Amino acid sequence: MLCSALDVLGDTSIAFKDYLQTEFPKETGLKYIYCYGILQCFILQQDSLKHLYEVFAVQWEVTSELKQIRKVRNASIGHTVLNNEGGRSEKDRNEFNNFISRITINKFGFDLLRYSKKTKDTVYEEIHIHELLTKQLDEVIVLLRRLIKEIITMENEEKKKFENEKLVDLLPISYWFEKIHSIYDEQNKLFAYTALDHIQKQYLELKQSLENRLLQGEDWFNEIKDYLVAIELMRKSMLDNDEHTARICNFYLDEKNDYFKRLMAEIDEKYEIRNDL
């Protein structure tokens, strides 16, 4: 929904821009197509903005300006033949039959004839496309800024849960990797097992912290799981006295830890609290 809503917002903005820059057709049929199309774009853009609010569970409140634009569209091309602007009850119902004056259609708008079934009167309204467009874009900008502020507020609330926990601090320090080199000394081999246990413990804590932040869907998260597998392979090679495999695992664990330090530092930076707009 997020992707679709953003696409429609962008697509309708392009449609508006090209409408303003393109020469209006001379053919009557195409005039109607242009007229119908531009008015429909107003509704598509409004609806996409509403759905954006829904994505982030932010209360949507349509403005009076957008309501008026929607009213013009409904009367002109949406529910032209029978257009009810009142309630459903007989008392509140206010139905109109609408007609676009063909000879008045131009790039800047048209005249709309409206026959009221309640008052038995026909009224003429001048519809100004450029004015509607200016009003809509102004409202959309305000509503988007309001949504962005809400998103930032929600984002900061989520970040506050982890403001005292830096991911980079969960990673093992170089001291423990130096201790792993004790595998090559029989007398100090116990230090290597202790270091490996500590490294494993810290990476399990890191994995849990990432899951708490709902980051397990990231592409690099599988590399954390691979790292834990490599730790077990290292342990097995030590127990089997397989020095060749142990050296390869040792090098991998050390180098990969530096990679994770850079990655976690980048994530920590993204979790810094942002100021509201």
Name 98's bridge partners: 114
Which of 136, 158, 180 is a domain's end point?
158
CA distances 203 to 67, 92, 135, 181, 208, Å, are: 55, 67, 54, 19, 9
Alpha-carbon distance of 98 to 100, in angstroms, equals 7
Residue numbers of the domain that contains 174: 163-270
Domain end residue (candidates: 103, 136, 158) = 158
Is 275 within a domain?
A: no
Answer yes or no: do 150 and 169 share one domain: no
Mean pLDDT by 10 residues, the chain (277 residues): 96 96 95 96 97 96 94 90 81 86 95 90 93 96 95 91 91 82 66 88 95 93 96 91 88 93 94 72
**Statement to judge: residues 111 and 10 lie in one domain:** yes
State the DSSP string of 189-208: HHHHHHHHHHHHHHHHHHHH
- Single out the residue in 158, 180, 197 at which a domain terminates: 158
For residues 219 and 111, membership in a common domain is answered with: no
- The reply to whether the predicted model has a pTM over 0.85 is no
- Encode pLDDT of 132-152 as tens digits: 999 999 999 999 999 999 999
Q: Is residue 202 domain-shared with residue 124, that is, in the same domain?
A: no
Q: How many domains does the chain divide into? A: 2
Query: Is residue 27 a part of any domain in this protein?
Result: yes
> How confident is the model at residue 183, as a pLDDT?
61
Q: Which residues contact 197 (CB under 8 A, 6 or more apart)?
A: none
| Rounded-to-integer distance, Cα 14 and Cα 22, Å | 12
On whether both 86 and 192 belong to a single domain, the answer is no
